Structure 1
Amino acid sequence: MYKKLLMLLLSLPFQFLSAQTNMLDSFPEGYIPEEVGKLIAYRFVYAKHALHGGKWISYPETFYWNGTLRFAELTNDKALIKFMGNRFEPLFTTEKKLLPIKNHVDLNMFGSLPLTLYQITKDKRYRELGIPYADTQWEVPEDAKPGEKKWAEKGYTWQTRLWIDDMYMITIVQANAYKVTGDPKYIDRAAREMVMYLDELQQPNGLFYHAPDVPYYWARGNGWMAAGVTELLRYLPEDHKDRPRIMQGYQKMMKSLKNYQTAGGMWNQLIDEPDYWAETSGSAMFTYAFITGVKQGWLDAGTYAPAARKAWMALVSYVNAQGAVSDVCVGTNKKNDKQYYYDRPRRTGDYHGQAPYLWCVAALLEK
C-alpha cells in the first residue's frame, strides 16, 4: 500500500507537466490550429506578390510562403505544396526579374524560400538559387561602405546594422543553408551574429530596443528577435559553444514577455505601454516562441503553456472568414519618436501578420 502511494506521489509532477503541455494539443471549435492554418495558408495560393520597392519579392511575402509550405508539410497537403511550387516556377523564367538582388539583409533572406523548397522537393534548382543568398551575406562587395567592411573584419556579416529585425532575416537564411548543406559555417555565422546582437541590444529587462538610437520596445521588432532566436535554437547543435549564451538571452526575453502579456492575452504595439493598441504580428511571433519553448523543454510548461494557450485563443479572434489577420502594423523603419510607433497604420491581411500566424500553427501541430 505504501509503495503504491509513493509511486503515485512520484508520478504527480509528471502528470502535472503532461497536463500543462496538453494545453497546447486540444482546442475548442473555431480555434483548432489546422483549421485556422488552412484558412490563412489557402488565402496565399492566389494572392498577389508583395514587392519590395515595387521591384523584388519582399521579405513579408517570403515568410508567408515559407509558413504556407511548413503548414502543407505538417498536414501532408500535397495539393498545397504543388500550388506553392507552381507559384514559384515563373521566378525561374518569366518573373526572374522579381528575384531580389543580394545587397541588403531584407533582400538576402529571400534565399530561405528556395532552400525550404529544396528540402521538400529535392529539386537542385532551388538549392542552386538559394545558397548564394546565404553566402553573399558574408562576401563583402567591392563597393561596400567603411562601416560595412568594419563589421566584416570582425567576423560578422557586412549587412549588420544593429536593428533587431536582422536577427530573423540573417538567422533564417543561414539556418536553412545549414540544414541543406550540413556545413557548420552557416550555423556558426548565425550563432556568432546572434551573440553579438544579444550583447549589444538586449536590455536589463530582457527586451530589445528597436536599435541603439531608438529606445522603444516595438512589438514586431522584438518579435523578429523572439522568432529568430527560437529558430536558431531549434537547429543549433546541443554542444555548440554559443548555445548557452543564446539560450540565456532567449529565456531572459521570454520571462519579460510573460510579464508584459496583457490580460486579454496579447502584446501591445510598444510592449511596455499599457495604453497602446494590441498588435497581432508581434503577438503571434511571441506566441510562436512560447509554444516552441514549451514543446522543446526550454521553458517551464507550468508557467508558459497557459500563457501560450491564452495568446493563441486571443490571436484567433483577429482572423476573419477570408483568412485575413487584422491589426497588423505596417512596415516600419526605425525612428526615435515614441508617437511614431503609436500612429503606425493598422492593416488587415498584411503579410507581416499572415506569416507569424502560420508559424504558431506549425508549432502547435508539431509533436
Structure 2
Amino acid sequence: MITIVRSILSGIAMSLALYATAQSVDLKNWPEKANPISVGRLVVQRFVESPHNSFKPPSPPKSITYPEVCTWYGALKFAEISQNRTLLDKLTQRFMPFFDTEKHLVPRPWHVDYAVFGTVPLELYRQTKNNTFLEMGMRFADAQWSIPIDSPQTVKDAYQKFLDKGLTWQTRYWIDDMYMITMVQSKAFQVTGERKYIDRAAHEMLVYLDTIQKENGLFYHAPDAPFFWGRGNGWMAAGMSELLSALPNDNPNKSAILAAYRRMMASLKRYQREDGLWGQLIDKPESWPETSGSAMFTYALITGVKNGWLDAKEYTPIARKAWIALVGYINKEGDIANVCEGTNRKNDYQYYLDRKQNTGDMHGQAPILWCIYALLKK
C-alpha cells in the first residue's frame, strides 16, 4: 500500500513539475529550432561572412550604412554574452581597415543615420579597451551636439535653435531618430561615465515622446504619413529599451519615458497577430507579417520582462510566441525573410502594403541578434 501511495505521489509530483514547466513564465526553455545560442551562431556567421552593405550594395559601397551598424552591434553583444573571444576577434578585425584601407567607408556624422556608426567603435572599446576605438566613437557622439563648422550660416542658425533647447541639431522628429541618436549617447555614457551623454539622450527622448507619441502608445511614420508602420515603431521600441537599460534611476525623465514605453507595449500586446508577429501596418490585420519590426518589438518585450518593467506573467507569453514565430522565418543560411525594404514616408495606405519583402536584409538580421542577447542575458 505504501509503495502504491509513493508511486501515486511520485506521479503527481512529476505531473505537477511538467505542468509548472509548461505553464511557467519562461524565456529559457526552448524547442531546439528556437534555441537562442543555435540561432545566434547561424545568424552571426552569416554576418561575419558578408561583405559590407551586402544587401543591395552600392557598387562600390560609398560608406557603411546603419543596417550593417546595427547588425554589427548585435553580433558584438552576442560575442559578449556567449563569451566567444574568437568571434570578438573576427568582428574586431572586420573593423580595423576603417583606420587604413577602408577609411573612405567611415561615414561623416552629419545625419542620424550616419552618426549611429559610432555605436560600433564604442562597443568595441567597451569589450577590448583599445583607446583607438574610444577616440573614433566619441567623435560621433560629440558630433551630434556640435554643429558642423562648414555649415552655411543660415543652417547654423536653424541648428542652434535645437541646441538652445538641449536637443541635438540632428533633431527631425522622425521615429527612427530615437534609436540612432539615443544609442550613441547611451553608449558614450556607458564607456565614459559622463552624465551629460545619457541625460541629453533622455531629454531628447522625452521631447520626441511628447511630440509624436499617439494616445494608443504607437507612432505615425510621420505627421504627413498617418500610418503605424511596423519597423518605424520598432525603432522607437528598441530605442526606449536601450535608453531605459542605461538610464540611471535618478534621471528626472526616467519615469515618464518608462510610462511611455509601457503604453507602447500594452498596444503591441493588443495588436499581436495570431501567428505571433505584427503586421507591416500594426493595426491593419490585412497587412502582411513583417519580421524586422516584429523582432524589434520582441526585443523590447524581452528586455522589459527581464528588467521588471513589464508584468512577467502578462508579457512573457507574448514575447515567447513572437520569438518562436520569428525563428520560423530564418532559413538554413541564417537569413530572415519578410523584411520590409527601405521605406520613406508616404501618405498612401497601399504604398505600405506593396513594399517589397526581402530576405537577408540587415534591417531584419540586426534585431534578431538583439533578441538573442536579451534572451541570454541573466
Indicate yes or no: 2:244 matched with 1:241.
no
**Structure-2 residue corresponding to 1:335:** 346
Secondary structure of 1:188's match? helix
User: What is the distance in 1 between the residues matched to 2:174 and 2:354?
Assistant: 20
User: What is the distance in 2 between the residues matched to 1:297 and 1:313?
Assistant: 22
Indicate yes or no: 2:108 matched with 1:101.
yes
Q: Among 33, 40, 60, which residue is 2:36 paired with?
A: 33
**Structure-1 residue corresponding to 2:7:** none
Indicate yes or no: 2:66 matched with 1:59.
yes
Contact 1:162 1:212 (8 Å CA) reproduced: no
Render the CA deviation track for 1:269-304: whole Å, top value 9, x for unaligned: 010011000000000000001111011000001110
Indicate yes or no: 2:222 matched with 1:211.
yes
- The alpha-carbon distance between structure 1 residues 18 and 225, as it changes in their structure 2 partners (threshold 3 A), is farther
User: Aligned partner of 2:50: which letter?
Assistant: A
For structure 2, the residue ranges without an aligned partner over 5 or more in a row are 1-19
**Structure-2 residue corresponding to 1:303:** 314
CA deviation after TM superposition for structure 1 residue 150, in Å: 2.3
Render the CA deviation track for 1:170-205: whole Å, top value 9, x for unaligned: 011000000010000000111000001100111011
Render the CA deviation track for 1:207-227: whole Å, top value 9, x for unaligned: 001122221100000000000
CA deviation after TM superposition for structure 1 residue 141, in Å: 2.4
Superposition map of 1:30-179 within 5 A: 30-50=33-53, 54-142=61-149, 143=151, 145=155, 146-179=157-190
**Structure-2 residue corresponding to 1:364:** 375
**Structure-2 residue corresponding to 1:181:** 192
User: What is the distance in 2 between the residues matched to 1:152 and 1:335?
Assistant: 29
Render the CA deviation track for 1:2-54: whole Å, top value 9, x for unaligned: xxxxxxxxxxxxxx899644x10110111101100110001111201118873
Q: Among 293, 297, 313, which residue is 1:286 paired with?
A: 297
User: What is the distance in 1 between the residues matched to 2:24 and 2:342?
Assistant: 36
CA deviation after TM superposition for structure 1 residue 122, in Å: 0.3
Please give the TM-score of this superposition, normalised by the length of structure 2: 0.90
CA deviation after TM superposition for structure 1 residue 147, in Å: 3.8
Please give the TM-score of this superposition, normalised by the length of structure 1: 0.93
**Structure-2 residue corresponding to 1:3:** none
User: What is the distance in 1 between the residues matched to 2:192 and 2:292?
Assistant: 31
**Structure-2 residue corresponding to 1:326:** 337
Secondary structure of 1:272's match? coil
**Structure-1 residue corresponding to 2:11:** none
- The alpha-carbon distance between structure 1 residues 148 and 344, as it changes in their structure 2 partners (threshold 3 A), is farther
User: What is the distance in 2 between the residues matched to 1:301 and 1:254?
Assistant: 13
CA deviation after TM superposition for structure 1 residue 149, in Å: 3.0
Q: Among 188, 204, 209, which residue is 1:193 paired with?
A: 204
User: What is the distance in 2 between the residues matched to 1:102 and 1:364?
Assistant: 32
CA deviation after TM superposition for structure 1 residue 239, in Å: 1.5
User: Aligned partner of 1:28: which letter?
Assistant: P
Q: Among 345, 348, 354, which residue is 2:359 paired with?
A: 348
- The alpha-carbon distance between structure 1 residues 28 and 190, as it changes in their structure 2 partners (threshold 3 A), is same
Q: How many residues align?
A: 352
Dislocated runs of 4+, deviation >2 Å: 16-21, 51-54, 144-150
- The worse-fitting range, judged by mean Cα deviation, of 69-78 and 141-150 is 141-150
User: What is the distance in 1 between the residues matched to 2:46 and 2:162?
Assistant: 40
User: Aligned partner of 1:211: which letter?
Assistant: A
**Structure-2 residue corresponding to 1:263:** 274
User: Aligned partner of 1:192: which letter?
Assistant: H
User: What is the distance in 1 between the residues matched to 2:331 and 2:281?
Assistant: 24
Q: Among 228, 249, 252, which residue is 2:239 paired with?
A: 228
User: Aligned partner of 2:47: which letter?
Assistant: F
Indicate yes or no: 2:27 matched with 1:24.
yes
- Structure whose alpha-carbon radius of gyration is higher: 2
CA deviation after TM superposition for structure 1 residue 326, in Å: 0.5
User: What is the distance in 1 between the residues matched to 2:213 and 2:22?
Assistant: 32
RMSD (CA atoms): 1.7
- The worse-fitting range, judged by mean Cα deviation, of 299-308 and 209-218 is 209-218
Secondary structure of 2:343's match? coil
Secondary structure of 2:278's match? coil
User: What is the distance in 1 between the residues matched to 2:21 and 2:176?
Assistant: 34
User: What is the distance in 1 between the residues matched to 2:80 and 2:362?
Assistant: 20
User: Aligned partner of 2:34: which letter?
Assistant: Y
User: What is the distance in 2 between the residues matched to 1:229 and 1:17?
Assistant: 31
User: What is the distance in 2 between the residues matched to 1:49 and 1:172?
Assistant: 21
